[in-house]
Amino acid sequence: MEEQRENIVLKAVDFFCGAGGVTCGFNKIGIKVLGGIDIDSNFKKTYEQNTGSKFINRDVSNLALEDLSKLLPIQKNDNNLIFVGCSPCQYYSNLKSDKTKSEKGRLLLEDFKEFVLHYLPGLVFIENVPGLETDEGSPLHSFKQSLSDKGYVFDQKILNAKYFGVPQNRRRFVLVATRIANCIKLPKQIRSKELLITVKDAIGDYKKFPQISAGTEDYSNFLHATSRLSEINLERVRSTPKNGGSRKEWSNNKKLQLDCYKNHDGHYDVYGRMSWDKPAPTITTRFIYTSTGRYSHPEQDRGISLREGATLQSFPIDYNFYSSKKGAIATMIGNAVPPKLAEAIGQSLIDNWNKWQNSKQEHEH
C-alpha cells in the first residue's frame, strides 16, 4: 500500500475548508492538500494544527482568481489537481430555517465555479445537502452546464455517510467531475447492516468516554464537555426511556409537555435519545442541545459531548478543536464533511485516476 501511495500524484485545494473534514480524509489516503480556504479565521488553528496544510483566511467571493496561484503552488490545466467545493449550504437544507441568513451561501457555488473555470483542474468534488440537486433555482444546474461546456463529465448521487464507515445517518448530495477522461464513477454504497457502525461501536466504551453529567466542562484537548440543562430539561431527559426513547413518553405530563407540541404531532426526535444499536442521527451544528433533535445520550441523562459528536462525525480521537466556546466547536464539527466520507470519495478519485493511467499505458503499447 505504501508503495502505491508513493506513486499517487494527486493534490487538492479545499475551498470552504472549515475545520478540515475533507483535508483530514484526503490526508489519510495520500492526496496532498496544498491548502484550505475559509472566510472564518476561527478555523485557522484547528485546520493547520491537525492537517499540516496551509490555511488561507479569505472570502472566496472577494478573492481575485489570479491571486489563488500566488497563495498556493497551483497552475492552470493541471490534470493532477482536485478542486474541492463543499460550501456550507444551509439554504438548501431540508431543515426549516430562516433562509435570509443563508441567502449568501446560495451563491458560494457560483464563486467556486469561477475558480474551476479559470484554473480547469483535472478533477472536481462537491458535497452538499440533498436539496442542492432538487431545489428550483439551485445554482447546481448552471454549474454543471458551465463545466460541461469546458469538457467535464460527471457522476452524482445522494450518498449516505453511514455506508462509508461514518456512525451516522447523513444523506448528502455528492458530485465528482473530470475533464481528463470520458467517464468518472463515485464509490458504490454497500447497503449491509453488518457493516454499519452503531452509536455503541463509536462512543459506547466508557473507558474511552467516561460517564459524565450535563454541564461537564473539559478544558483538555479531549473535550468531553456537555451543555448545561435547565432543571425542567433535565427532568425531560430523565423521563425519556433509555436507548432510543422519545418525548412521546411524557406527552401527557402537563409539566413536561412543551406548549408548541400540545396540538401538534410529529418531531419526535426533539428531546429524544440516541439508540445504541443504530448509527446516530445527522450531527448538525446544534448537536450539543437536547432540544434540537435526538441528541440525548442513549443511557446517561445528558446531551452528547463535543468529543462524542466529533467521533460520530468520524473525526480521529486525537483531532483537536480550538475555541473557548462550546457552540463554536459544535459548529465546526457539525458543518464538517465527515472525514471517512471524504476518504471514500478521495479513494474513488485515486481509483478512477489509476484506471485512466492503466488504460493510457495500454493504448500506448
Tell me if 127 is assigned to some domain: yes
In 3D space, the residue among 166, 188, 93 whose CA is nearest the CA of residue 341 turns out to be 166
Q: What pLDDT score does 255 carry?
A: 77
Distance CA 353, CA 79 (A): 10
Q: What pLDDT score does 196 carry?
A: 96
- Determine the angle formed by the axes of helices 21-28 and 44-51, rounding to 10 degrees: 0
User: Is 89 labeled as catalytic in the residue annotation?
Assistant: yes
Expressed in percent and rounded to 5, the helix, strand and coil fractions of the chain are 40, 15, 45
Tell me if 304 is assigned to some domain: no
Q: What pLDDT score does 6 carry?
A: 47
Question: What confidence tens digit (pLDDT) does each residue in 68-88 have?
Answer: 999 999 999 999 999 999 987
Tell me if 235 is assigned to some domain: no
Q: What pLDDT score does 219 carry?
A: 95
Tell me if 243 is assigned to some domain: no
Q: What pLDDT score does 3 carry?
A: 40
Give the count of domains, the chain: 1
Q: What pLDDT score does 260 carry?
A: 64
Question: What confidence tens digit (pLDDT) does each residue in 260-275 have?
Answer: 665 555 566 788 999 9
Side chain identity, residue 256: L
Read off the CATH number of the domain in which 106 is found. Answer: 3.40.50.150
Strand order in the sheet with 11-15: 54-57, 32-38, 11-15, 81-85, 123-128, 171-178, 153-160
Q: How distant, in Å, are the alpha carbons of 69, 119, 142, 257 from that of 263?
A: 58, 55, 43, 11
C-alpha cell at position 243: 436507548
**Catalytically annotated residue among 24, 86, 89, 260:** 89
DSSP-assigned beta bridge partners for residue 36: 14, 55
Tell me if 359 is assigned to some domain: yes
Distance CA 82, CA 12 (A): 4
Tell me if 22 is assigned to some domain: yes
Tell me if 11 is assigned to some domain: yes
Low-confidence ranges of the chain (pLDDT < 50): 1-6, 91-102, 104-105
Question: What confidence tens digit (pLDDT) does each residue in 88-131 have?
Answer: 765 334 444 444 444 544 578 999 999 999 999 999 999 998 88
Distance CA 240, CA 99 (A): 32
> Quick one: how many helices (H) and strands (E) in the chain?
13, 7
